[in-house]
Each structure stands twice: as C-alpha cells, then as structure tokens.
Amino acid sequence: MIEGKNKSSIIRMFHVNKNYGAKKALVDITLDIPKNELLFISGPSGAGKTTLLKLLYLGEAVSEGQVLIEGMNLSRISSKRIPLLRRKYGIIFQDYKLIATKTVFDNVAIVLEAIGKKRRFIEKKVKSVLRTVGMEDSLHSLPLSLSGGEQQRIAVARAVVGDPKIILADEPTGNLDEDSADIVLELLKRFHARGATVIIATHDKELIRKTGGRVIHLNQGYLQKTTTV
Amino acid sequence: MIFYYKRALQDIIDHKFLNAITIITIAISILIVSAFSLFFVNANEIINSWKKGIRIMAYLKPGVPEVKIPELKQKIKRINGIQDVRFIPKSKALQLLKKQMKRQSSLFENLKENPLPDAFEIRLIASSQNQDKVEIIATRLESFPQVDEVEYGKKWLGRFTNFFNLFRLIGYAMGGLFFMAAVLIVANTIRLMLYSRREEVEIMRLVGATDRFIKAPFYIQGLIQGTFGGIIGITILFITFMFISSSVDQGFSPGLFTIKFLSPGAFFGIILYSMFVGWIGCYISLKQFLK
Ligand SMILES: Nc1ncnc2c1ncn2[C@@H]1O[C@H](COP(=O)(O)OP(=O)(O)OP(=O)(O)O)[C@@H](O)[C@H]1O
Ligand SMILES: [Mg+2]
C-alpha cells in the first residue's frame, strides 16, 4: 500500500517486529518518514523508543519485517557497508556513549577522523561545534569529569559535527536544565531547517509541545497512534 | 595516518609492561632463530672449505723405482673421479716438513736418512667429493701393489656432516616453535589491548568507522613490537658474537677460518621476519575479536 508511493521517504519500516528472546520490544511497526521531517517518538519507559532507533542504524537487527533507509534494505546490507549506513546519521545516544579515555575534543573529532578529514579542518570544526553547545572551555577534559548535562552536550556535539543527513536523538534533553535544553533544541531545529531529517525519542511532553511536529506514540512495543502537534 | 600512529603509541604507553614482555619474547625468539642461522652460515662455510680441500694421499712402499713412477701416475689418473695427481718425492716431503717446523729444525739435523715415503697427492673432481666416492677411490688405490697406505684424513667429515644436518633439523624445529610462541604472545597482547578498548571500538563502529580504521593502529602496534623485538634480538646476538669471535681469534691461529656475522641482507630479512611475527599475531587476534 505504502510501497513505491512516496519517493521522498528517507526511512521506511514494514511490519517490523523486534524480540529480545521472548520479550516483544516492538510489534508490527509500519512507518514512513519523509525526508526533512522532524518526528517525535514518544511513550513511557520500556515502550520501545530506543529499540526502534537501534533498528535504523543496525545497532540491532529486526526479528521480522523490513527496514529501508534511502531505498537500501537493511536486511540485505553487507557488513562492509554498515559504516557507510552509519555515516548518514548523527546519533545522540540515551547513555551518551562517550569514550571515557579520550578528551572531549577527541570524542567529537573521532567522527571526522573516521572519514579521513584533514587535521586542520577537524580542529576548526570541532571547536566551533563545541562552542555552539557551550562546551568550548572543556576541550581537554575527560568525559567522566563532567556533569551529566555537560556530557549530554558533548554527545550532541558529536552527533552534529559530521553534518549528517539524519539525526537520531534519544532523550537529547533528558539531563539538561531548561536553558541548556533550549540550546540543544535550537541546534536540532537548525539542522532540520538546513534539510536534515530529525527523529527525537522522548517522553518529555513539554519538549514536544514547544517544538511541534508529528508524534508517534509507542506503548509496550505497539504503535498506538500518530498525532500532530 | 598520524591518528593511527598516535593511537598505537598511546596503547604502547598505556600498556608498557605488557608491551615490554611482548617485545622481549619476540627478541628472544629472534635471538634463537638468528643464532641458528648464524651458526649455519658459518658451519656451511667451513664445511665447504674442507670439502674443497679433500685430497687423498697414497704413500708408496719403500723401494719403488723412480722410473716406474710416471706409469703408476697414469694408472691412478685413469681411476674415475680424479682431477689431478701429483707425485711428491720423499725428499720434497722432508723439505716441506722442515719448512713447516722451522723452530724444531734441530730435530731433523741428525737424521741419517729420510724416514718419509714417496707419495701421490690426489685431488678429486667436485662430484667425487663425498664420503662414499672417496672411500671407493681409496680402496682402488689400496689395491695397487706399490701402495703402502692411503690416507684421506677427513673420515670424520662425513660424521660431522650428519651431525650438522641433525643440528639443522633441530634449528628448524626450534625456529618453528619460537615463531609460534612469539606469534601467540603478540596475539595475546593485542587481544588484551582490544579488550581494554572494546568500548571505544564499539563506539567507533557506531559513529561509522570502518574496520580498517579501527584495526590499523593495532597492526601498527604489532609491527612496532616486531621491529623492536627484532632489533633487540639481533643486537644481543651481535654483542655475543663480537665477544665470542674476539676470544676465538685469540685462541686459534688466525686465518684458519674467519667467522662471519650475518650479511646485511640476512639482517634485514630477520627484521622483516620479526615484523611479520608482529603482523600475523595481530591478524589472528583481530580476526577473533572483530568477527
Ligand atoms: N538488549 C536487550 N535485551 C533484552 N531486553 C531488552 C534489551 N533492550 C531493551 N530491552 C527491553 O525492550 C523493551 C523496550 O526497551 P527500550 O530501551 O526500547 O525502551 P525505551 O522506550 O527506550 O525506554 P526508556 O524511555 O526507559 O529509554 C524494554 O522492556 C526493555 O526491557
Ligand atoms: Mg530508551
């Protein structure tokens, strides 16, 4: 029914199930995300928000169904091309996933190093992104010496430093005070305005209300309803 | 590129002790392998020079008339495998002996007659220079009625060659064993390194790093371990060699033979071999770790 109709879809999920052993984390999810949408995935704890995002970047494989990213079927992608898939994304992980042994600068720079950017470019770009999230004074700190909110801002910086096509943000403001949350939200909006597709998983109703957009409601793995705020 | 080296060096600094152990293990195995090759190179040289010098002396019974000598010489020459026959009359033999033993010349002064026999010195063609052929020729010579005794002093050469071959076999076995030991140690070090960086590796993968990008620093680390291990091993061998060869030179008459150190080619060959040890150890553990 949906197939082939919407050419500008960047992400499509068809009847996706995800089980962790006997636990059903996602049940029969069908979803079509157009290019440059700003989409919220909301739902209570354990609803399957993080799991849904993981399926998109192959952090986990689907149990049943299909996921297509820019027409690429993730069930048939060769392991060699997985890095190329992941470079489409900037991901803000719920648990940040910062490298504890590397400085703030190196944590952010690694995204650009991995794609072979020049040293000089990396220096400039990383510093400018860190300035945007208000962390330019912590270049040489180690992540664990920072507060939760500060770590989250580093995670945001790393997610956007490569100018990704798609941003996956898993509770991007979960640990932030209102002012910092607003900065991060502005940053995500700015990338959205520049053409990126932005998917934000959150149970923060206030955040959704402030921003507006399509909202997917998950509950215990089921797609309950779709609303637009 | 700089990034790879930075990470490899960081790993080595972070795990000094582990890396030191690895490098020492490589050094020891390189030391053993290269000590064996050094021994073979020199032993081969010595054996070859002895082989070249293989000659048979056929001493004649006293009283063989001088006129019969050319005829006998021709007969000997006709034996298969002989290159050259030279007659050494006893007078010449005595002269030679006196020359060799100048200091003891007083010994010869009161000799009434020459005690030495006439002799033929027989040199063999290259293909006859082995134990079996030498023995066959010697038996032929002994069958001449004029010949009193045949001497080809280096009977023990054959035994030595056998011993040498056995030793070579042991060398290969030891080389193989130490190669495996070194490879396993490197593999283990890299595995620990990977383990201590598993979170980082996982995160790098999530942000789109290729396996090549992730693996390169580990390979560099393996190669660095191999190179340093190789250099240290050869250096120890060289120092030991200098020590031994200087004391050997004092003990033996110089010029008998000179022991040589490994050629520059062999030197670089061993360093390359050592780097290969580092590389292959790395390859093994990366294959296990990053499926
Ligand atoms: N690796 C895993 N192994 C087993 N069960 C898992 C795993 N990851 C998630 N689950 C289960 O799947 C369900 C959905 O988890 P998920 O992390 O997607 O929830 P979530 O919506 O992100 O929740 P939260 O708001 O707390 O982050 C939960 O019941 C969780 O216990
Ligand atoms: Mg979650």
ipTM: 0.90
In-domain check, residue A209: yes
Does one domain contain both B281 and B165? Answer: yes
Residue A216 lies in a domain: yes
Chain B contact probe: residue of A50, A60, A86, A89 with most B CBs at under 10 A: A86
Q: How many domains does chain A have?
A: 1
Q: What is the CATH number of the domain that holds A120?
A: 3.40.50.300
Q: Looking at residues A22-45, what average pLDDT do you find?
A: 95
Same domain, B165 and B278: yes
Q: Whose CA is nearest to atom 27 of ligand 1?
A: A45
Residue with the two structure tokens 């002396």: B57
Instruction: Kindly state whether residues B194 and B84 are assigned to the same domain.
Output: no
When CB atoms are compared, the residue of A93, A102, A114 closest to B208 is: A114
Residues B211 and B236 in one domain: yes
In chain A, pLDDT over 70 holds for what percent of residues? 97
Nearest CA in chain B to A102: B200
User: Residues A102, A93: contact at Cβ < 8 Å?
Assistant: no
What's the whole-number mean pLDDT along residues A127-153? 93
Q: In which residue ranges of chain B is pLDDT below 70?
A: 1, 49-53, 103-105, 107, 129-131, 153-159, 248-259, 290-291
**Does the residue A156 lie in any domain?**
yes
CATH of the domain at B94: 3.30.70.3040
Is B283 in the same domain as B166?
A: yes
Regarding the beta carbon of A95 and ligand 1, being less than 6 Å apart is answered: no
Domain hosting residue A184, numbered range: 35-58+83-228
Same domain, B17 and B124: no
A8 CB-contact burial (10 Å; exposed 0-12 / middle 13-18 / buried 19+): exposed
List the Cα angle A133/A138/A143 in 5-degree steps: 95
- Considering the domain architecture, whether residues B244 and B118 belong to the same structural domain is answered as no
Query: What secondary structure does DSSP assign to A128-142, as a single string?
Result: HHHHHTT-GGGTT--
Any CB–CB contact under 8 A between A105 and chain B?
A: no
Judge if B172 and B32 occupy the same domain: yes
By the CB criterion, residues less than 5 angstroms from ion ligand 2 are A 50, 94
The residues facing B85 across adjacent strands are: B122
pLDDT at residue number A24: 95
Final residue before a domain boundary, out of B106, B125, B151: B151
Whether the CB of A25 sits within 6 Å of ligand 1: yes
Domain of B174, in residue numbers: 2-50+158-289
With respect to residue A157, please indicate whether it lies within any of the assigned structural domains. Answer: yes
What letter represents residue A56's amino acid?
Answer: L
Interchain CB contact of A110 with B (< 8 Å): yes
In a domain, A74, yes or no: no
Do B168 and B285 have their domain in common? yes
Same structural domain, B199 and B78: no
Report yes or no: A101 at the B interface, CB cutoff 8 Å. Answer: yes
Q: Would you say residue A172 lies in a domain?
A: yes
Please identify, among B151, B180, B201, the residue that sits at the C-terminal boundary of a domain. B151
Q: Say yes or no to pLDDT of A149 above 80.
A: yes
Cα angle B260, B160, B169; round to 5 = 75
Task: Decide if A69 is inside a domain.
Answer: no
Q: Which of B288, B276, B265, B274 is nearest to B41 (CA)?
A: B265
pLDDT at A77 over 50: yes
Cα dist. B209→A87, A122, A130, B183, B202 in Å? 8, 16, 21, 27, 10
Predicted pLDDT of residue A4: 47
Q: What is the pLDDT of residue A126?
A: 97
Q: Same domain, yes or no, for B120 and B199?
A: no
B113 and B166 within one domain: no
Q: Which of B103, B122, B151 lies at the terminal end of a domain, its last residue?
A: B151
Q: What is the count of structural domains for chain B?
A: 2
Percent of chain A at pLDDT > 90 equals 79
The alpha carbon of A29 and the centre of ligand 2 are apart by a number of angstroms equal to 17
Mean pLDDT of A113-137: 93
Q: Residue A184 has which token pair? A: 């991060």
